[in-house]
Structure formats: structure tokens, C-alpha cells
Chain A
């Protein structure tokens, strides 16, 4: 019964997102025509950062027309959210196709802060059936749609199990050529393996000089080496001169 309810809501959600993607004129604030759709504050990432993220998503060998990428890390604070946003921005800008960026870190949400959204209402509340899904749309990249995770939830594992078992993303895939999941950190969060099932390909963000190689090995073991499409070495701060690094 609850599964049927979820499926009907998923269809409603897909319709709302499609509606959100139709050309419309935003005013200032949250002047959304569709209920639950609001305008995200535009995030300006440096061009070189977007370029590096572009290199990351272009390096993944996709086996279907849609690009469904999950971005994870070993621990918190390694820059996976920034990389996920950068990849989604690059995808949306490059392809001009509908791009969905979903925040799946239900314990430590940060999209509301980064996109200037209110912290109440998001994926958690929608999965709990407490509110319609909040969808935010970028002002400068209208084809980029952001789904925040909402307020921190007490039982995120259940919600993610529900999400992974639902056909939400199967429903969304035909409508979005590009889907990027900002996944929870794999070692810090127990349910991260559930979340990682949502994506076809996984990118592992590693923070230079912070992440232990041993932790990366554990993450690769947990996720499965065949699922990890590549590592993004983030926040590099080489002191060795470039010419010397090339020589070594």
C-alpha cells in the first residue's frame, strides 16, 4: 500500500520537476509557479574548478545515454559536495540538458546553506510523506534542478532503503539525461552503501594530505572496485614546482 503511494508520488514528483523545467520567469525570492519549486541562489564556482569537474565527469565511461553519477568520499569534509555541485554545473552548462542534483546526505545537509534555501522540507520530508518535494532551480542555469535533503532525519537508513527500493530514479532517468547524487561519506555513514546503489557510476573524492590511503582502500572495498569509476584528488596543494613534478 505504502509502495503504491510512493509510486504515485514519484509520478507526481516527475511531473512537478518537468513543470519546474518549463521556461518561466523568476522574480526575486521564491516566486515559483509550481508549488514546491523555488529559485536557488546562484553559486559561482571558479571557472578552473568547473573545468576540473568537467574533466571528472567526462572521464567516466557511461554505458547508457543517461549519465547517473554518485559522488562520495571516505569522510566528511573532503569536498564531495563542492565537486558534486561542480560536476552538475559543468554537465548542465555543457549539455544544456535537464540536469538533476540530489543531496543524499540526510544527516548533514548543506545544500540549503549553499543554495540559500530554507532548511525545512526536502528529500527526507518527501520520503516520509510529510511534504511535497522541494525542487530548486538555478537562476543562471535553468536546466539545473537541485533537490535538497531537507532537515536532518533521525532514521536516514530507512529513508534511503525506501528510496533505493523505489523506482524514483527509473522514473526520472528518461526525463533527466544527467543526474548527480551528492552521496553521504562512505566510512562515516553506515547507510552509505544503500545510497551508493542509486548511482550507476561512483566518483570518490579524496582530500589531498587529509584522507588516509588506508581509508580509501576501505571505501573501494566497501563500494566494490568495479563501481568506482575514478578518484578525484581534491584540494591539492603541491609545494613541489611543476617542472620538478613533471620530471619525477
Chain B
């Protein structure tokens, strides 16, 4: 230990440079030239019953809170390449990120630092870290807008499929109803004495069958029409819900605006300083290890098993064997 301390003091300029000056410079450079800011935004998500209807938007889990449902959807979307690609394209289109190098850096930031957390039952917090304040805010703004667009489109697609299916079913049901009506009319024309009422039908089984068939077909058409109306209502309602549902409570803003930003740059600076100190420490160990000369009395006694009976300080030149 004393050898290390002695080497430290012997080459103190070198070690001050390696262990103090260089880490301080590197850490300062990291803070100044590689800043990191964090933008956050808070969104409020309501239950769909807010609209007075009993339905759930696409992908909603009734056992989760609205905030959990939305954050789950957004998290899944954010992990898709198309979402991130569209986001960066939008940023480029808006003129926020024009440099290709910065674009790659932003892409990395989105993948690694864009986070969405459900805080409580309705509050959803979005955050992202990057090296420019304006870019951070723009990323969140575009994320919210893109999320809404994607959700609306998803709802619309889902509704279109449902409405299309019900419409085709209704067309078929209406055709069947028309055929049943035609068959009944033809039967009544062939038997002019008969009337299409339950009393007459009780005496004529064929009439009863045709009337029952027509009734079934009409009920089917009415049922499908109801379903189609419901589907159209749900489609528009859920699309509206998605559009206006997550309300922006806190607009995207930089949470720590100071020199140290979100603290990431400070962390990086500390890591860089630690690396410099490790290098300095390694150099100290190396220099001490390479120095095989006699320096420490306790070490000499331990290694050689011979007493060091005295230590004589180095004489200054004038003192050395001065002659009278």
C-alpha cells in the first residue's frame, strides 16, 4: 500500500492529470457536448361508457383500466418498425429533424427511450429522452397524433369489415324475404278463395308453411338491419372515442431544463470519469509493479527477513561529503 502511495506522490503531476484533470475534463465535455433532455406528456383516458354506450374499442381488455388499455396499445404500436418509421418520417417532414445523422440518432432514441406508463387508472404518461429539446417535444407530439391516427384507422378498418359483412348478410336476407313473399303471392293467386290469415292457414298446411317462412325471413331481415345500425353506431362512436378519448392533460414539455438535463448526460459523464480514473489506477498499478527497487522498509524486512536498521535521507549536493 505504501508503495502505491509513494508512487502516487512521486509522480503526482502525472496522477493529478490522470486521476483529476482528465476525468474532470471528460466529464465536463460529456455534460456540455452530449446533453440529454427528457420530454414528458400526460394523457387522460376515459371509459367508453362515458358516451353512454356499452361497447369497447378494438383491443380493449375489460379487466384493465383505460390507462392500462391505452398504454398497452401504444406500447405494442411503438415496438413496430412501421410506427417508428412513420414517426421519423413525420419528424423529417415537419422539418424538426433534417440531418440524416440526427435522424438515426432520433430513431435510436425512439427505440430505446420512448416510454409509456399507466399512472393510476386513467392517467398515461409518455416520455422520451434525446439530445435536443425541440426534438424531444416534437417526438411526443407526433407520437400522440400518430397513435390517434393509428387507433382511428384500426377502429375504422374493424368497423368496415363488420359493416360489410352485415350488409352482405342483409342483402341475402332481403332476397330470401322477397322470394318468400313471391311464393306466398303465387300461392294466393292460384287459390283466390284463400286469405293469408292465421284462421285460414290453420286449415291449409301449405299456406301456413309459406306464411311462417315469410315471417322468419322478415324477422331475419329486421334482426340484420338492427345489427347493421348498431355496428354503424359503434363504429362511429368508438372512432370518435379514440379520436377524442385520450385527452392531453400536460402537453409535451421538457421536464428538466437545466444544464444537466434529465441526468443522463451526468450519468454518462460519471461513467467517463470512472473510466479515466480506472485507466489512471491501472497506470499506477503498472508503474508500481514495474518498480522493483528497494523503497519500503517494511516490505524489505518482510521479503528479505533481514532488519532494516536505519534509513538515511538523501544528502543534498552541498552536504555530500563536504570538505573542510
* Contacts from A to B (Cβ < 8 Å): 41-46, 48-49, 52-53, 55-56, 59-60, 79, 82-83, 85, 114, 116, 203-204, 206-214, 216-217, 220, 225, 228-241, 244-245, 248
Contact = CB atoms under 8 A, between A and B. Distances in A.
Among B10, B300, B306, B319: residue with most chain A CB under 10 A: B306
Contact of B312 (A52, A59, A213, A239): A52
B324 A234 contact: no
Contacts of A240: 2, 5-6, 9
- Which 4 A-B pairs give the minimum distances between C-beta atoms? A230-B309, A239-B9, A59-B309, A235-B314
Contacts of A235: 312-315
A234 B310 CA distance: 8
Interface string B278-311: 0000000000000111110101100111111111
Contacts of A234: 311-312
Given A82-B321, A248-B1, A208 B304 contact: no
B197 to A, nearest CB: 118
B322 interface: yes
Contacts of A209: 291, 293-295
Contacts of B307: 59, 229-231
B323 interface: yes
A231 B304 contact: yes
Contacts of A212: 292-294
Contact of B309 (A79, A82, A203): A203
A79 B297 CA distance: 17
B292 A245 contact: no
A236 B313 contact: yes
A45 B321 contact: yes
Given A52-B312, A214-B292, 17 more contacts: A41-B323, A42-B324, A48-B313, A52-B310, A79-B312, A204-B306, A208-B293, A208-B311, A209-B295, A210-B294, A213-B304, A231-B308, A235-B312, A236-B312, A239-B10, A240-B5, A244-B5
A116 B322 CA distance: 12
Contacts of A82: 315, 320-321
Contacts of A59: 307, 309-310
B245 to A, nearest CB: 68
Nearest to A52: B312
14 contacts: A41-B324, A79-B312, A207-B294, A210-B293, A210-B294, A213-B293, A213-B299, A230-B310, A232-B310, A233-B311, A234-B312, A235-B314, A236-B313, A248-B1
B5 A248 contact: yes
A114 B322 CA distance: 9
Contact of B294 (A79, A213, A229): A213
Nearest to B298: A248
Contact of A44 (B299, B312, B314, B322): B322
A56 B310 contact: yes
A245 B308 CA distance: 16
A217 B304 CA distance: 7
Given A43-B323, A46-B315, A212-B293, A238 B309 contact: no
Interface string B204-242: 000000000000000000000000000000000000000
B51 interface: no
A207 B303 CA distance: 17
B6 A231 contact: no
A208 B310 CA distance: 12
A228 B309 CA distance: 11
A44 B300 contact: no
Contacts of A213: 292-294, 299-300, 303-304
B165 interface: no
Contact of B295 (A46, A79, A208, A225): A208
Contacts of B322: 43-45
Given A114-B321, A231-B304, A55 B294 contact: no
B139 to A, nearest CB: 54
A212 B303 CA distance: 12
B243 to A, nearest CB: 72
Contacts of A228: 306
Contacts of B2: 240, 245, 248
Interface string B155-192: 00000000000000000000000000000000000000
